[in-house]
Chains A and B, each alone.
Chain A
Amino acid sequence: MPKKETTLTDDEIIELYWDRNESAISETDKKYRSYLYTIANNILKDRLDSEECLNDTYLGTWNAIPPTRPNFFQIFLSKLTRNIAVDRFRKNSAARRIPSEMTVAIEELDECFVSSPENVEEEVQIRELVRVLNAYLKSLDEDRCFMFVSRYYYADPVQKIARMLGIGVSSAYRQLSEMRADIKRILLVEELKNEQ
């Protein structure tokens, strides 16, 4: 019977980064490759792009640690991969490449992120939307908040979100739709307030 390979703990891997031991990258890849690949592929829907995204993630981690010492290594990697994938997604969108789950998810948000008047600066607009969105997400229960972030931050397919939460797919769709409607309602009220 072949000997089972043992994976290092997150703390041990972080120590390798701090020791500038190059096996830190291979250990990270060994432990988190498939998880991080899924995040990247949800956004990019391209194997090569996703692979490149992983390499950029490992490079980013190597450059960040030290001086950083993440408390939760997997969360650190998740966000880094997502951000790198999103940056690439922006470039790919500009080049009109094949749409991914992220494309679909972003398009869903058209329902709620209404465009502001032209005289309002984009930066201000974005800041305002972020403020409203954060306030809304903080008001949600754990499941719904997770559902929103999973869908629009990580671009997870709705079927996967439903399976993770142990609910039906149609229920997941419905709840996401309700949340988008809530955000739209809140934004309209805020707009009315501003006009006044």
Chain B
Amino acid sequence: MAYIARRFGVSLFIIYVVITISFFLIRLMPGNAVDFLYFQLLASHTVSPQQALQQVQSLYGVNMKEPLLLQYVQYIWNMIHGSLGNSILYPGTSVLHILMNALPWTILIVSTSLIISFFIGISIGTLIAYFRKSKFAVLVSTIMTVLSAIPNYIVAIILLYLLADIHHIFPTGGAYSPEVAPGWNIPFLFSVARHAALPVIVFIITQVGGWSLGMKSSVVSALGEEYITSAHSHGIGSRRIIQSYVGRNAILPLVTSLGLSIGFMVGGSVFIETLFNYPGIGFFLITAVNGRDYPLMMGAFIIVTSAVVLANFLTDLINQRLDPRTMQK
């Protein structure tokens, strides 16, 4: 327990460090965003310098005439109290509100596709490792290599064109149809599933190759271990050996990469969410970058970083359960 607490503390610290770095980087850039906005407001001649200053201050939640260090303390202070400032592109809406609405959508497509592609991938990987000398396994391996090499936005464009544009099987974008009322009702959930289907399929197609190839090499090396030979000589059934001797050991390195993928997919969903016009974190990150909505950008950065760090933390915990060698007393 002490270990978990310590590990959690370290995670929080890492997030804090990344926030700090992002904060200062944005402000140290030549023509920084705060000045940019301030001078933009001044140039419009509709506001006095005081008003402009106030406006910027209210947008960022910081007073820019104060020293940088004080601004920083204020930003952190606001953050601890749950405020990330207001968005510029969506006036009157807090960054936190936008991100909290976007996060569930990203989590929905990222987790669904990760879980499905992971399980399909390790199953295929185990099979092609076990029958690695058969022609079929060689063919499947080749297909997986090709799949893992295609970038996801290419697959997304192809599927969008084929399944949404030509055949209208799936909608071209959005998280749900405007005709249904959001809530826990069947039409809404069905609509959500239909809209999430294409992004999820794209992720599965592009991820499954990597998982299966990773699992294949992991299984092949586990198969050569002497304890597998021993299990065979004890007469333990092949099925049991695959599951609890080979699989159990082979999956360890993949669980680590699964954890890392969770984090990186939240950030990496940018292309997919933009192409499918899917209102997740990635979509708003791109919108923020294009529109120079720095508070929103900062918020999205924090979410992405937190996702990576927390996923790492969870992976550590899971690995501890799975691998006795990393267990802490």
Chains A and B come from one and the same complex: no
Residues of A within 8 A of B (CB): none
